[in-house]
Structure 1
Amino acid sequence: MSWVDASIDILGRPVKWTDLIGNVFALATVAFAMRKSMWTWPVQFTGSVLLFLASISAHVTGNALKQALFAVLAVYGWWKWRQGTQEQALAVRPATGGERWRMLAALVVGTVVVTILFKAFDLSWYPGASVAVVASDAYIFVGGAVATWAQGRALVDFWVVWVLVDLVGVPVAFKSGLYVSGAVYGVFFVMVLTGFAKWLREYRAARPELVAAA
């Protein structure tokens, strides 16, 4: 689709318009999430569709599948947050020990399984790509899914998972030629740390006994 491949020149680099606008929506998603706004989810859905198209065009299958999953999880997140705000403001909380172990297990096991599938069916990067390269794509896919699931459940820990994803996402995005995505991942890193601190403060403010016990 020629309109999906269309690019504009920014600082001498060709930038896909789907990558550019999709990432504007992605940044807006984080900003809305900090404020626990219901707009988080429709904005994420729209951005995911645009970034899905950009990733397919760049042949980064793992990131494309991640965006497709994000679109589905945006519907789930909207539903969960809607439930949580029926009679009061959305209550955020840290994950329990069991939830953290399940998220870690999903991240590790999921990355291994998805790496095997991506490698077996040449779904990532290019035919014959090394296991390390394919694994980075799989890790972003699985990590993004785990983070978005935790975000839907209003777990403070989802911000931490995003930090772990960003540490790999920045170099992978630049390597794939998605320069805007790479730059935005760097901005995400700062915004995610800010969001984590904000949600944690809100949780502690709602639980004064935690401050007294500290």
Structure 2
Amino acid sequence: MDFLRWLFEAQIPVGGSALVLREVLGNIFGLASALGGMRRKVWAWPVGIAGNLLLLTVFLGNVFGAATPATLWGQAGRQMMFIGVAAYGWYRWREGRNAARGRALVPSWASAKVRIALIGALFAGTAALTPLFDSLGSYPPVWADAWTFTGSLLATYGMARGWTEFWLIWVAVDIVGVPLLFSAGYFASAFMYLFYGFFTLAGFFVWWRAGRREDPSARTDAVPAGAAS
């Protein structure tokens, strides 16, 4: 209990303000998960879940005390969504793991229909969730919170399916999410998202080259050869 009390109350002094320790730790776990995802390591998923649990307590704001600056229902909701989709990705990558190389899949491109569906879902989801988040009192501009939630859902699902395009969805999320987080006072997350913006571009090219090099004939919607059916 003493450890949990310390974890929930601890802050890191920075200049005249302070960063919430849980926010910093959650983003460190998130970065480690992203690095593992770029290398297609199964451990990326449980590490990411640990970070999501920490950030969930952060973005719920005053639900867990006054240490956090504002409540972002979209950001909190996306952590819960991450946990659910990560469980699916964890299962899928374990089933499809190539034991010889230690990687879970061969990256490949989504079909044209899937790309159109992803773009449509991003805008439709943002439009549908904006009034909901607004009614819950999410930090404005509320559409930005809805955009980051929807984009994060689609990107995480795309990662689980092995679609190289998921990195580009993350770029779209970061473009909107970074200004929102700075505005809301979540500086640790904002700087981490800013770094993610460059990292996701690197990840896109890493997966692109890996898909061409390892198995150009791999299907985008299939678990790699050797996986359990």
Q: Do Structure 1 and Structure 2 share a fold, with TM-score over 0.5?
A: yes
Which of 14, 22, 46 is the matching residue for 2:18? 14
After TM superposition, the structure 1 = structure 2 runs for residues 100-139 of structure 1, keeping only pairs within 5 Å, are 100-119=115-134, 121-125=135-139, 129=140, 133-139=141-147
After TM superposition, the structure 1 = structure 2 runs for residues 1-214 of structure 1, keeping only pairs within 5 Å, are 4-57=8-61, 58-85=70-97, 89=103, 90-119=105-134, 121-125=135-139, 129=140, 133-207=141-215
Partner SS, residue 140 of structure 1: helix
- Residue identity matched to 1:140: T
Post-superposition offset of 1:98: 1.0
Asked if 1 retains the 8 angstrom alpha-carbon contact of 2:73 and 2:136, the reply is no
Asked if 2 retains the 8 angstrom alpha-carbon contact of 1:163 and 1:189, the reply is yes
The residue number in structure 2 matching 1:212 is none
Rounded Cα–Cα distance in structure 1 between residues aligned with 2:89 and 2:137: 27
Post-superposition offset of 1:86: 5.9
Partner SS, residue 13 of structure 2: strand
Rounded Cα–Cα distance in structure 2 between residues aligned with 1:139 and 1:69: 14
Q: Which runs of 5+ in 2 are unaligned?
A: 62-69, 218-229
Rounded Cα–Cα distance in structure 2 between residues aligned with 1:29 and 1:108: 27
Post-superposition offset of 1:208: 6.2
- The list of structure 1 runs, each at least 4 consecutive aligned residues, that deviate by more than 4 angstroms after superposition, is 86-89
Report how many aligned residue pairs link the two structures.
202
Q: Choose 8-17 or 86-95, whichever is displaced more.
A: 86-95
Question: What percentage of residue pairs aligned between the two structures are identical?
Answer: 34
Post-superposition offset of 1:13: 2.7
Alpha-carbon RMSD across the aligned residues, in angstroms, is: 1.8
- Residue identity matched to 1:30: A
Q: Deviations over 1:111-166 (max 9, x none)?
A: 000012122x23412xxx5xxx0100000100100000101101100000000000
Asked if 2 retains the 8 angstrom alpha-carbon contact of 1:62 and 1:123, the reply is no
Q: Deviations over 1:41-79 (max 9, x none)?
A: 001100001111111123111100011100111101101
Post-superposition offset of 1:84: 1.7
Q: Deviations over 1:160-204 (max 9, x none)?
A: 000000001111111111100000011101111111000000111
Asked if 2 retains the 8 angstrom alpha-carbon contact of 1:5 and 1:54, the reply is no
Rounded Cα–Cα distance in structure 2 between residues aligned with 1:28 and 1:104: 27
The residue number in structure 1 matching 2:224 is none
User: Structure 1's 49 and 186: CA in aligned 2 closer, same or farther, altered over 3 A?
Assistant: same
Q: Which runs of 5+ in 1 are unaligned?
A: 210-214
Post-superposition offset of 1:4: 2.8
Q: Deviations over 1:10-62 (max 9, x none)?
A: 23331011110000011111111111001110011000011111111231111
TM-score of the superposition, structure 2-length normalised?
0.83
Post-superposition offset of 1:92: 1.1
